[in-house]
A and B are shown apart, each in its own frame.
Chain A
Amino acid sequence: MNRKALHWILGAGTPVLLLALWWIASEQSTSAFFPPLRVILERFQALWLFEHFQSDVLLSLRNLLLGYGVASVAGIALGFVIALVPVARQILEPLIHFLRGIPPVALVPIFISLIGFGIEMRVASIALASLFPTMIATVDGIRSVDPGLKDVARVYRFTTTEKTFRVYLPAAGPQIFSGLQVGLQVAFIVMIASEMLGSSQGIGAMTILAQQSFMTADMWAGILLLGVIGFAANLIFDLIRRRVLAWYIGSRKLARAA
């Protein structure tokens, strides 16, 4: 058996094994807090796959994508400006370092009081919270672009657009992607938190509602769904990253092998 196959089997087999253990161990459970996995999965199916799929699951995902999308574009754009315009850097940098110190979830109450409990509040919270990791990583990435590449761009008289999109952006790509990855995790956390704190709709709201009305199986079903979504989101992100940064991953691999 080769190594790669072994990795796959371990990677896929371990979660399956744990689920099986959970199933067996919880089957006879009468605890109000740890219902049998069988019951949780029944509730999972009943709750998420049909009844609330459109009204809650899709809603949450839409908020996540919208907020994260806005944050990613704005974070990269602001990162460029801060890295390349000295005045912008001097004005904004202290503010950024203050704001990034506040835990993202702590921003949600401000947004509730500012914009209310609507969808706008949730999208705005997600966007603002996941803006910082992307923006800060972009600033670092742009600042560490190799001076050699900048000289090339100048000698060959690249236009500003070419410098921006064909030199700086790809050169900072690896760092921007690490920022985007952190931003995605933050967006996910804030999505759930914003729903738990100030909403009657969405996966987070459903989960906290179940907890508050002692429907433990429903609560577990909600947590399980969040886990699945988080896992899937990271998987998709990684696929995109591998595609966009194929050159970087390849060159690093080669450098390590040498």
Chain B
Amino acid sequence: MKTSLPPTRSNSAAPAAPSRKNAMTEEQTPAPAVVAGTAPARLDVSHLAKSYGTGDKAKTIIEDLTFTVAVGEVVCIVGPSGVGKTTLLKCLAGLHPATSGRASIDGRVINGPPPEMALVFQDYNRSLMPWLTVRKNLVLPLRHLHLSAQELKERCDSALAAVGLEHAESQYPWQLSGGMQQRVAIARALAYRPEILIMDEPFASVDAQTRFDLEDLCLKIRRDFNMTILVVTHDIDEAVYLADRVVVLGSKPARVLRIVDIELPTVRDQISTRALPEFARQRTEVLSLIKRPA
């Protein structure tokens, strides 16, 4: 349960060990992240725990998670599959209440879906409305915002352009390939103009080339919209490539093993970045954390 790993140079937060529960607040561990360390915490997860059932049958999914995401930062959460990453995201999105601890945005505790957040789900074919065309899928979440027709059109146009699907706007999701459907789901989130974008293994079921394209799209979104992005993935290379910081989770139940700052140039490239010795060093660092028995 307790992690015995010593803090390394790249730690920006101490590992979450139950014995140090009270020493884990943001003020007391101000170790700055390399990229976004000066920015204030946008999303603050503090001693979050989640279990299902009660009494003897209680099953703890998440033990004690503490980490923060700063404004404009990309944070990846990696961990072995089945560790409870999706449960974590559902807690952050306000879909499930936390059993103890809390997650908050700008100090407000999340107890329902926050208005400034959008989520891209893992199963793209179960998250788009099959009875709506691509454009109408984008418009649906915007209806209750009562935007002008002009703004509505502008938002959808720019979101579709960002994912390169202008030509597919009048098609139905089921007429598109998996990668294109996931791009529609991302476009829907973009048109919503969230300040915080959360993605749950968004590229897990698309082919390698599409995956690279979508990863770069993710970085472009961060650049263009200054969005705070949290990505859950089980792909370590992807996490290192995308993130400013990687939160490494251990199982079971889920807890933070270490938070690794990624010291790669902000502008990244699928070929040259992945060839950097620093990339190899950091992916090894993350991988050894996951492989090593805690």
Contacts and interface: CB of A to CB of B under 8 A. Distances in A.
A149 B129 contact: yes
A227 interface: no
B130 A248 contact: yes
8 contacts: A148-B121, A152-B121, A156-B118, A158-B144, A170-B131, A250-B174, A251-B174, A255-B174
Provide the main secondary structure of the chain B interface.
Answer: loop
B119 interface: yes
Contacts of A254: 174-175
A243 B95 CA distance: 35
Given A158-B141, A247-B131, A247-B172, A146 B119 contact: no
Given A148-B123, A166-B140, A254-B174, A155 B129 contact: no
Closest A-B pairs by Cβ, 9 of them = A148-B126, A156-B141, A251-B174, A247-B131, A170-B131, A155-B119, A155-B113, A148-B127, A146-B126
Contacts of B94: 154-155
Interface residues on A, range: 20 to 34
Given A146-B126, A173-B131, A247-B130, A154 B95 contact: yes
Given A250-B172, A254-B174, A156 B192 contact: yes
Interface in B130-174: 130-132, 140-141, 143-144, 172, 174
A69 B123 CA distance: 38
Contacts of A170: 129, 131
A159 interface: yes
B174 A154 contact: no
Interface in B53-96: 90, 93-95
A162 interface: yes
B277 interface: no
Given A155-B93, A155-B95, A247-B172, A149 B113 contact: no
A163 to B, nearest CB: 11
B115 A157 contact: yes
Interface residues of B, number: 25
B145 to A, nearest CB: 9
Contacts of A152: 121, 127, 129, 141
Interface string A200-216: 00000000000000000
Nearest to B192: A156
A128 interface: no
Interface string B161-204: 00000000000101100000000000000001000000000000
A131 interface: no
B117 interface: yes
Contact of A155 (B117, B126, B140): B117
Nearest to A173: B131
B192 A151 contact: no
Contact of B172 (A156, A166, A251): A251
A242 to B, nearest CB: 14
Interface in B14-42: none
Interface in A131-183: 146, 148-149, 151-152, 154-159, 162, 166-167, 170-171, 173
Contacts of A157: 113, 115, 141, 144
B36 to A, nearest CB: 25
With most chain B CB atoms within 10 A of its CB, the pick from A155, A162, A173, A248 is A155
B269 to A, nearest CB: 32
Contacts of A151: 90, 95, 119, 121, 127
B130 A154 contact: no
B144 A159 contact: yes
A149 B126 contact: yes
A74 B93 CA distance: 36
B120 to A, nearest CB: 10
Nearest to B142: A156
Contacts of A155: 93-95, 113, 117-119
